[in-house]
Amino acid sequence: MRAAVLTGGGDCPGLNAVIRAVVRTVHNAGGETLGLQEGWRGAVEGTYEVLDPMKTDEILPRGGTILGSSRTNPYKDPELVGKVIETVDKLGIDALIAIGGDDTLGVASRLYEDHKLPTIGCPKTIDNDLSSTDFTFGFDTCLNTVMDAVDRLRTTAESHRRVMVVECMGRHAGWITCFAGIAVAADAILVPEIEADLDEICTRLKRRKSEGKHYGIVMVSEGARIKGEMVTQSGEIDEFGHVQLGGIGKHVANVIEDQTGIETREVTLGHLQRGGSPSAYDRVLGTRLGIHAGRLALSGDFGKMVALRGLQIVAVPLAEAVGQMRTLYPEFMAEAEEFLR
Ligand code: F6P
């Protein structure tokens, strides 16, 4: 049995844990695994390397992906889809495991539905915005990175009696901002799912100052909206049609400084949130998902995505898992709001 694995979309810590587990699981059953390079680009161009347990044994603690990643979308052009089919035939791939977010897995799902290609999905993203799985790997490491950064920002904010506005990734879902906001005891949390009331936040910050708290931490999602509008800087669009987000933190910081008179600084954490070595949780989750993806490949159970449900790893139809972004559940913000008064 010959499996192939690819990693697509924005990278995140834990990808190498999945690759290593797929390779080991397939090898243990007498099969071999090819690593397609740079996401769907490798499937289009037929670029790959042969992976084995020796080659992948040391990669568990490494961030990023040894295979490289890209936002290549074969469905941009029917000719590219034809090339993916050709690669699968030419390389004799019996199972194609795509590790990715909604875009990468959306391609895997369509290839299965339209052409019966033997695809299997494995969910990843720091954004935690995939439906059908409780958590995506990468999210936990990202939260720890944000928490560590804000703990550092807090000491300087306190010394200078400033408000620090921290812009977090997460696209149109507030998982990172809300969870990190709870973990750092933020004074305000702005997520895309809830219309931000900047006037109320400014009043809160002023009141807290008058009560003796001389600094503030405000967490803002890159996709949060002010008066229904997103704030973006670049306007760049990727192959899947997503606009590049970022810039709202600066806007929020300006409003806070103007309205409260408190000196305010803004920090955009950006790609720091995707880097570094995976946490223990993400290593274990990535490993478990990889083992189960490998098992699906060995049993020929295609068109499925491995997912975490409670404590179990289960297989769900890829078609059900993609296309519907999972936004932050309101109960998490309701819990956070106990401290946001
Ligand atoms: O989906 C992961 C993510 O990090 C988002 O949170 C962010 O908006 C986007 O990718 C950034 O993409 P890029 O690396 O292409 O700038």
Domain span holding position 71:
2-137+278-321
Query: Do 270 and 290 belong to one domain?
Result: no
- Integer CA distances (angstroms), 112 to 33, 76, 105, 253, 318, in order: 20, 17, 11, 46, 9
Query: Rounded mean pLDDT of 69-92?
Result: 97
Per-residue tokens: 214: 């001389």
CB of 169 closer than 6 angstroms to any ligand 1 atom: yes
**Position 231, amino acid:** V
Query: Rounded mean pLDDT of 276-282?
Result: 98
pLDDT in tens, 143-190: 999 999 999 999 999 999 999 999 999 999 999 999 999 999 999 999
Q: For residue 250, is it within any domain?
A: yes
Q: Tell how far the Cα of 209 is from the centroid of ligand 1, in angstroms.
A: 35
Q: Where are the alpha helices (DSSP H) in the chain?
A: 15-28, 40-45, 53-56, 78-90, 102-115, 139-160, 175-183, 198-210, 248-260, 280-299, 318-321, 330-337
Q: Tell how far the Cα of 169 is from the centroid of ligand 1, in angstroms.
A: 7
CB of 127 closer than 6 angstroms to any ligand 1 atom: yes
Instruction: Determine the Cα–Cα distance for residues 48 and 91; give it in Å rounded to an integer.
Output: 10
Query: Do 165 and 260 belong to one domain?
Result: yes
Instruction: Determine the Cα–Cα distance for residues 73 and 63; give it in Å rounded to an integer.
Output: 24
CB of 298 closer than 6 angstroms to any ligand 1 atom: no
Query: Do 282 and 133 belong to one domain?
Result: yes
Task: Answer yes or no: are the C-beta atoms of 6 and 97 closer than 8 Å.
Answer: yes
Query: Rounded mean pLDDT of 108-125?
Result: 98
Query: Do 227 and 108 belong to one domain?
Result: no
Per-residue tokens: 158: 């306190």
User: Does the pLDDT of residue 234 top 80, yes or no?
Assistant: no
Q: Are strands 2-7 and 225-226 parallel, antiparallel or unpaired?
A: unpaired
Task: Specify the pLDDT at position 229.
Answer: 83
Query: Do 228 and 148 belong to one domain?
Result: yes
Query: Do 130 and 143 belong to one domain?
Result: no
In testing the pocket of ligand 1, which one of 99, 102, 169 has its CB within 8 Å of the most ligand atoms? 169
CA dihedral 76, 70, 110, 42 (to 10 degrees): 100
CB of 171 closer than 6 angstroms to any ligand 1 atom: yes
Nearest CA residue ID for atom 16, ligand 1: 244
Indicate which residues carry an active-site annotation: 127
Q: Tell how far the Cα of 92 is from the centroid of ligand 1, in angstroms.
A: 33
Query: Which among 313, 266, 311 is positioned nearest to 294, based on CA atoms?
Result: 313
Task: Answer yes or no: are the C-beta atoms of 10 and 64 closer than 8 Å.
Answer: no
Query: Which among 127, 32, 27, 111 is positioned nearest to 75, based on CA atoms?
Result: 111
- Number of structural domains the chain divides into: 2
Q: For residue 202, is it within any domain?
A: yes
State the DSSP H helix or E strand holding residue 315, giving kind and residue range, or none if neither: strand 312-317
Query: Do 109 and 132 belong to one domain?
Result: yes
Q: For residue 326, is it within any domain?
A: no
Instruction: Determine the Cα–Cα distance for residues 117 and 84; give it in Å rounded to an integer.
Output: 9
Task: Specify the pLDDT at position 73.
Answer: 97
Q: For residue 332, is it within any domain?
A: no
Q: For residue 66, is it within any domain?
A: yes
Q: How many H-runs (helices) and E-runs (strands) does the chain carry?
A: 12, 13
Q: For residue 15, is it within any domain?
A: yes
Query: Do 269 and 158 belong to one domain?
Result: yes
Query: Do 145 and 180 belong to one domain?
Result: yes
In testing the pocket of ligand 1, which one of 7, 168, 171 has its CB within 8 Å of the most ligand atoms? 171
Query: Do 93 and 31 belong to one domain?
Result: yes
Q: Tell how far the Cα of 71 is from the centroid of ligand 1, in angstroms.
A: 10
Task: Specify the pLDDT at position 235.
Answer: 76
Number of Cα atoms under 13 Å in the Cβ half of residue 55: 14
Instruction: Determine the Cα–Cα distance for residues 284 and 287; give it in Å rounded to an integer.
Output: 5
Q: For residue 37, is it within any domain?
A: yes
**At 222, which CATH number?**
3.40.50.460
Query: Do 35 and 128 belong to one domain?
Result: yes
**At 78, which CATH number?**
3.40.50.450
Query: Do 115 and 181 belong to one domain?
Result: no
Q: For residue 335, is it within any domain?
A: no
Task: Specify the pLDDT at position 231.
Answer: 81
